[in-house]
Amino acid sequence: MDAERDEAPSSELFEVPAAVVCASCGAPDCAGCIGADEPTQGSGVVAIIPWERPVGGLGSRFWQTAKLATLESQAFFMALPDGSVGAALVFALLAELLAVSSVVLTIGAVALAVVPGLPLALVEDHALRQWVVRALAWGVPALSLGMVGLHALHGVALDRAALRAGSTRTARRGLRLGLYACAWDFITLPLGWFSLLVESGIGAAVRALPLALNVPGRASGAYLRGFHRLDDAAARRASRSAVARSALIGLLVALAAGAAFVAWML
């Protein structure tokens, strides 16, 4: 049932305009000058990411997009439209900053519960307080940027793996996929998860718990099958290849960045 729900298109993602014309030439009877690379594929149904819509509040558009990209990941990424990389990058940065900050706050709350004397130690020990402030001021943005970079790397790797698997697509939307995939971290980490709990109840929150593990594979497969038009076997091979390559590069970069950060803090 969950898989069927995830594959069902959401009304928040798709719009049917009153009059459909070609975005390139303006003709109402044109099948689409670039229709072969468009997610509408001549249907007249336009996929619009809520975050990129010109109407609605910032928080509402962010929340709708984060939920769609995570809870309805297959429909979202199968119909991922072309668009601004800048808009997707802003979304990704916001999602990761909120996700990382919520983890830091959760760890801080646990630390205060386990070590009741920690606040007094921070007040009295100037060196400790300075170290913690510096670690937070640099660590949170750095980790957020690192997570954005890792997701972006995975998206680009998906496009490259798809080409090696036989895709004939000339357009590339993997980078946008990677940036919007940052929604997964937000929804499955404390702030997003508790927001989902408050809005949708315990059932939806419980169903969201395993998504951090299974959404990447499902979303990547949907993108490879829907946009690159690979068959199931080729999509699985391309997905595994992209994960392996991006994980290796990400690990090497993370080790180098971590060593530099520790050396700087010490």
Q: Determine, yes or no, domain membership for 47.
A: no
- If residue 14 lies in a helix (H) or strand (E), which one and from where to where? strand 14-15
DSSP three-state, residue 130: helix
User: In the block, which residue shows the tokens 């998860």?
Assistant: 193
- Structural domain containing residue 129: 57-265
Q: Determine, yes or no, domain membership for 163.
A: yes
> In the 8-state DSSP scheme, what is residue 117?
T
Using 50 as the pLDDT threshold, list the residues of the chain that sit under it.
1-8, 16-45
Number of domains making up the chain = 1
Q: Determine, yes or no, domain membership for 111.
A: yes
Q: Determine, yes or no, domain membership for 20.
A: no
pLDDT at position 233 is: 94
Q: Are strands 46-47 and 14-15 parallel, antiparallel or unpaired?
A: antiparallel
pLDDT at position 23 is: 39
DSSP three-state, residue 47: strand
Rounded Cα gap, residues 63 and 257, in angstroms: 31
pLDDT at position 1 is: 46
Residue type, 81: P
Q: Determine, yes or no, domain membership for 26.
A: no
pLDDT at position 95 is: 97
pLDDT at position 190 is: 93
pLDDT at position 261 is: 67
pLDDT at position 14 is: 58
pLDDT at position 44 is: 43
In 3D space, the residue among 161, 157, 155, 225 whose CA is nearest the CA of residue 184 turns out to be 155
